[in-house]
Amino acid sequence: MGSISGESMVWDAQDSNAHEEKIFVAIRLRPLNEREIGKNDVSDWECINNTTVIFKNTFQERSMFPSAYTFDRVFGSDCPTRKVYEDAAKRFALSVLSGMNSTIFAYGQTSSGKTYTMSGITEYAVADIYDYIDKHPEREFVLKFSAMEIYNEVVKDLLTTDGTPLRLLDDPERGTVIDKLTEVTVRDSSHLIELLSICESQRQIGETTLNEMSSRSHQILRLIVESEAREYFGAENSSTLTASVNFVDLAGSERLSQTMSAGTRLKEGCHINRSLLTLGTVIRKLSKGRNAHIPYRDSKLTRILQNSLGGNAKTAIICTMSPAHSHLEQSRKTLLFASCAKRVSNNAQVNIVVSEKALVKQLQRELARLENELKNLSSLAASCDSTSALKEKELLIEKMDKEIRELRHQRDLAQSRALRPGPKSWVDMNIHEKDSWTDECSVSEASEIIDPLWSDVASSVSHFSDRYRSGVNSIITEEEDTFLENNEERFLSDDTSPSLYIDKYFGPDPCQGWEKIGQESDKNLDDDNVKDVQCIEIDFTKLNLVSGSISPQKSDQDQASGKSPTTSDEVFDPSLDLSRSSSSEEVPTTITQSTSDEVAKENKDALGTLSSVEKESENLCRKDSQDSTMSEIVNENEQIVKTLDEDCKANQQEECVKEFNEVIKLDLVKDIEDNSVPEDANNKNDVEDAKTTDINQEKVADDDLSQSKDVEQPTSEWDSEFEKKKREIIELWNGCNIPLVHRTYFFLLFKGDPSDVLYLDVELRRLSFINNALHGAIVLKDDQSFTQASSAKALNREREMLSRRMLKKYSKREREILYQKWNIDIKSKQRRLQLCRMLWTDATNMEHIKKSASIVAKLVGFKEAGSVPKEMIGLSFVPKPESFGWRHSLPSMM
Ligand SMILES: Nc1ncnc2c1ncn2[C@@H]1O[C@H](COP(=O)(O)OP(=O)(O)OP(=O)(O)O)[C@@H](O)[C@H]1O
Confidence tier at 865 by pLDDT (50, 70, 90): very low
**Better-predicted residue by pLDDT, 620 or 319:** 319
pLDDT for res 434 = 30
Confidence tier at 457 by pLDDT (50, 70, 90): very low
Which residue has its alpha carbon closest to ligand 1 atom 14? 111
pLDDT for res 674 = 40
Q: Is 643 annotated as a binding residue?
A: no
Q: How far apart are CA 779 and CA 656, in angstroms?
A: 13
**Least confident residue range of 20-34, 311-325, 751-765:** 751-765
Of 378-382, 612-616, 643-647, highest mean pLDDT: 378-382
Q: Is 111 annotated as a binding residue?
A: yes
Confidence tier at 750 by pLDDT (50, 70, 90): low
pLDDT for res 130 = 96
Q: How far apart are CA 568 and CA 559, in angstroms?
A: 15
In this predicted structure, the answer to whether residue 115 has a pLDDT above a threshold of 80 is: yes
How many other C-beta atoms can be found within 10 angstroms of the C-beta atom of residue 842?
Answer: 15
Confidence tier at 73 by pLDDT (50, 70, 90): very high
pLDDT for res 262 = 64
Q: Are 103 and 313 in contact (CB under 8 A)?
A: yes
Residue pLDDT, tens place only, 197-249: 999 888 877 777 777 778 888 999 999 999 988 877 666 666 788 899 999 99
Which residue has its alpha carbon closest to ligand 1 atom 11? 113
**310 CA → ligand 1 middle, Å:** 28
**Better-predicted residue by pLDDT, 35 or 293:** 35
Confidence tier at 192 by pLDDT (50, 70, 90): very high
pLDDT for res 418 = 52
**69 CA → ligand 1 middle, Å:** 22
pLDDT for res 340 = 92
**Least confident residue range of 670-679, 715-724, 853-862:** 670-679
Residues 6+ apart with CB under 8 A from 448: 297
In this predicted structure, the answer to whether residue 729 has a pLDDT above a threshold of 60 is: yes
Nearest-atom index, ligand 1, CA of 119: 18
pLDDT for res 547 = 29
pLDDT for res 718 = 61
* Torsional sign, CA 175, 181, 187, 192: negative
pLDDT for res 628 = 42
Average pLDDT over all residues of the chain: 65
Which residue has its alpha carbon closest to ligand 1 atom 31? 116
Query: Strand 239-249 to strand 352-354: parallel, antiparallel, or no bridges (unpaired)?
Result: antiparallel
In this predicted structure, the answer to whether residue 557 has a pLDDT above a threshold of 80 is: no
Element (H, E) at 249: strand 239-249
Q: What are the φ/ψ torsions at residue 541 (nearest 5 degrees)?
A: -60, -40
Q: Is 497 annotated as a binding residue?
A: no
Output the furthest CA–CA distance in the chain (Å, rounded). Answer: 113
Which residue has its alpha carbon closest to ligand 1 atom 9? 113
In this predicted structure, the answer to whether residue 829 has a pLDDT above a threshold of 80 is: yes
| Residue range 669-675: mean pLDDT, rounded | 41
| Residue range 307-315: mean pLDDT, rounded | 88
Q: How far apart are CA 26 and CA 316, in angstroms?
A: 8
Q: Is 113 annotated as a binding residue?
A: yes
Strand partners, 229: 139
**Least confident residue range of 583-587, 598-602, 785-789, 802-806:** 583-587
Q: Which residues form the pocket of ligand 1, taking CB atoms under 6 Å from any ligand atom?
A: 30-31, 33, 108, 110-116, 211, 213-215, 251-252, 320
SS3 770: helix
* Torsional sign, CA 146, 180, 172, 291: positive
Residue pLDDT, tens place only, 143-156: 999 999 998 889 99
SS3 220: strand
Which of 27, 115, 218 has most ligand 1 atoms within 8 Å of CB, for mutation? 115
